[in-house]
Amino acid sequence: MCTTNRPQMQLKQFIDCHKRSDRPLLAAISGGADSLALLHALMALKIDCHVAHVDHGWRTESQEEAARLKKIVPYPFHLLELRGSCDENGARKARHNFFRELCHTQGCEAVLLAHHANDRAETVFKRMIEGAPIVHLSGPRPVEKLPGLTLWRPFLSLRKSELSHPFETVVVDSTNFDPRYHRGWLRTEIFPKFKRPFEHHLARLGSEAEEIRDYFDGQVELFLSQVKQGPFGTWLDLSQAQLPPVLLRHLLRRFCPRLSYEELHAAADFLGQGRSNAQVGPLVIDRGHLFLPHPPVILPQTAVPLSEGRFGTYTLVQGEQKGAEPKDKPGWQALWQGCASLAVPKGEWSICPPYPDRRLRERFNAHQVPAFLREQVPVLRSSQGQCLDWLTPLKEHVIEELLGVVSLMFS
């Protein structure tokens, strides 16, 4: 096989495998040698596409380079100019937002990137020395789905030396070898110290790490599909889950990516022990339940008559119903979805913040109401001292004289 045709053949195979519509593609072209090889392959295959170029403004000549690049591109050309201070992470976010907007406005199916096997090896090494977990050593993936954006990397199986093009390279980015930047530091200070080529070993490690991550993702996806969003935050019930520690940690990492290594292991231990009201970073663990709570609801401290229909951020809806309990039993799980209903006997009732009461505390404990919720939900109190709440289910009973069914909704 002729080396000069390798990028074209690889690109054709990739597009034949992944393209699902007749929508155009968006090619991210920096003007460097790798992206020009991608551009040349697109032109040779007559692929319908748009071109996106980002001028980071890090070098004085970058504006002129963008103008030269535009002259050789035979496709619709879209330019983003970044000015001012912007670190590597900020630049990446800006690029992704730019690509996302173009895919939406131009109807592009995916974004093509020119990353190759050497890039993958560098990323694997970088993540290793940063202490990344095994499942995150994979480096760039051939297909990566982000919110509102799909990235394609057709050249990951090709080495840099296999990418060729007939153009004069437009951009020679000196920051790629600037030790002030992490990747430049690796290329100038670290990689030259190795006496033998090692990139293919790292690329292979990245490929196997990707297979492990895909397998782990498949094992925990059923649990993650049960995640519930509500007015109090994010909740996942793992009380019945039986997962080996390595998969439990992977699930925790997917549920809360912000956890540090130490927090991740502590959270897994607390789950295994069935701990209650344990906080690990932003995560709350309570008897097999995982929570990422929103900022707490602050309740008014003064009781108001039930008839007023509002209490702080809550709305109360009162309806008539004869007989027993409402179909939707009250309970913190129901309220997490935004609404819980409660059958209320006749009498004079007021709505108030939860108050120190032994019976109420025992009820909360008996029904394993998460501790952080108890101070965020009001209760009903009668003039006779009776207390009703929406966080625990009532025992089965028939109320002879029913005032009505009161629904508590988060508004």
Question: In which band, very low, low, confident or very high, does the pLDDT at 35 lie, cut at 50, 70 and 90?
Answer: very high
| Arithmetic mean of pLDDT, 150-156 | 96
Q: Quick one: 313 exposed, middle or buried, by C-beta within 10 A (0-12, 13-18, 19+)?
A: middle
Domains observed in the chain? 3-210 (3.40.50.620), 238-293 (no CATH), 304-410 (no CATH)
Q: Which helix (H) or strand (E) holds 286?
A: strand 283-286
Give the DSSP H/E element, type plus range, for residue 102: helix 88-106
Q: Does residue 190 have a pLDDT over 60?
A: yes
pLDDT at 344: 84
pLDDT of residue 328: 47
**What average pLDDT is seen over the chain?**
87
| DSSP-assigned beta bridge partners for residue 229 | 234
Confidence band, pLDDT 50/70/90 cuts, at residue 324: very low
The neighbour count for residue 265, using CB atoms within 10 Å, is 15
**Residue 222, pLDDT above cutoff 90:** yes
**101-126 mean pLDDT:** 93
Mean pLDDT of 183-207: 80
CA 201 to chain centre: 30
Parallel, antiparallel, or unpaired: how do β-strands 111-112 and 149-152 relate?
parallel
Average the pLDDT over 91-116 and give the result. 95
CA distances to 271, 274, 290, 392 from 239, in Å: 9, 8, 9, 18
> Residue 262 in 3-state DSSP?
helix
Residue where the block lists tokens 């040349």:
40
Q: Would the pLDDT of 165 be above 90? A: no
C-alpha–C-alpha distance, residues 344 and 406, integer Å: 7
